């Protein structure tokens, strides 16, 4: 096990499965203490046990991003046990079946439901945990976004996923990108870096495992892939902030 992240504390939301779990595994394999954020404490503990069986320091933390009480409780738990937070990966997100309709036919409740988790949940977690990130010597915030949130790509008829016009999901990721930019600007004079990561079309429960990339690739791809979630979570002091990256580098807004 590498120990270049030894002493670092990382919280990953929605980490009991999929990309979130893989991000936790890879950060943990590099020596970080990983906090497996999960709505269901049982599923979270099952994932943490699996990580611990691989000699990773993993702890379960109950966290539902749409329940402020659990966010507050998680913050108090982290402060009590560690006194700081070095890495926050906002991975938890949803996509709704009701979002498969043409944009003008999407029910307003589908939009509200999606934003509650994908946008308001992300902001609530960041806002609550920011004081603990400020206690880190090098805080890192990574917001899991999507190329579907790129207005440039959505406007391009030749974009690989030009037909994927899911109003609620796509626009929620556009909002996440905006949050990323604005927070990075606010925190530019601190040691905290804020970036958005596009893991690519990864096979997860979110898309009924239709994606053609593995969760390992979605977390930190092998080969020449440079800018996935783990890379952004471990940026050096001179790393970028306020950016949007996928395996090939910068993604257009």
Residues known to be catalytic: 169
Are 174 and 196 spatial neighbours (Cβ–Cβ below 8 Å)? no
How far apart, in whole angstroms, are the C-alpha atoms of residue 50 and residue 67? Answer: 26
212: tokens are 């053609």
Q: Is 27 exposed, middle or buried (0-12, 13-18, 19+ CB in 10 A)?
A: buried
How far apart, in whole angstroms, are the C-alpha atoms of residue 34 and residue 57? Answer: 6
For every residue of 3-31, DSSP letters joined together read -TTTT-EEEETTTTSHHHHHHHHHHHHTT
Q: Within its chain, how far is the Cα of 217 from the centroid?
A: 14
How far apart, in whole angstroms, are the C-alpha atoms of residue 47 and residue 60? Answer: 8
243 DSSP 8-state letter? -
């Amino acid at each position: 096990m590498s120990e270049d992240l030894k002493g670092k504390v990382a919280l990953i939301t929605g980490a009991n499965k999929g990309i979130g779990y893989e991000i936790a595994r890879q950060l943990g394999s590099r020596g970080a203490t990983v906090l497996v954020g999960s709505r269901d404490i049982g599923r979270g503990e099952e994932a943490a046990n699996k990580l611990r069986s691989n000699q990773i320091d993993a702890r379960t933390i109950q966290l539902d991003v749409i329940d402020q009480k659990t966010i507050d409780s998680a913050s108090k738990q982290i402060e009590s046990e560690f006194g700081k937070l070095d890495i926050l990966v906002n991975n938890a997100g949803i996509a709704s079946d009701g979002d498969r309709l043409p944009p003008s036919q999407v029910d307003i409740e589908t939009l509200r439901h999606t934003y509650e988790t994908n946008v308001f949940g992300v902001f609530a977690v960041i806002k609550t945990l920011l004081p603990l990130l400020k206690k880190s010597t090098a805080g890192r915030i990574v917001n899991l976004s999507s190329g579907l949130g790129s207005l440039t790509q959505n406007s391009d008829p030749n974009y690989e996923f030009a037909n994927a016009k899911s109003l609620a999901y796509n626009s929620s990721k556009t909002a996440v990108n905006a949050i990323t930019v604005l927070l990075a600007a606010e925190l530019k004079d601190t040691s905290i870096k804020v970036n958005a990561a596009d893991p690519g079309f990864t096979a997860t429960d979110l898309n009924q495992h239709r994606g053609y990339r593995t969760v390992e690739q979605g977390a930190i791809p092998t080969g020449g892939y440079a800018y996935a979630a783990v890379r952004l979570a471990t940026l050096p002091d001179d790393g970028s902030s306020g950016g949007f990256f996928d395996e090939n580098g910068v993604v257009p807004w």
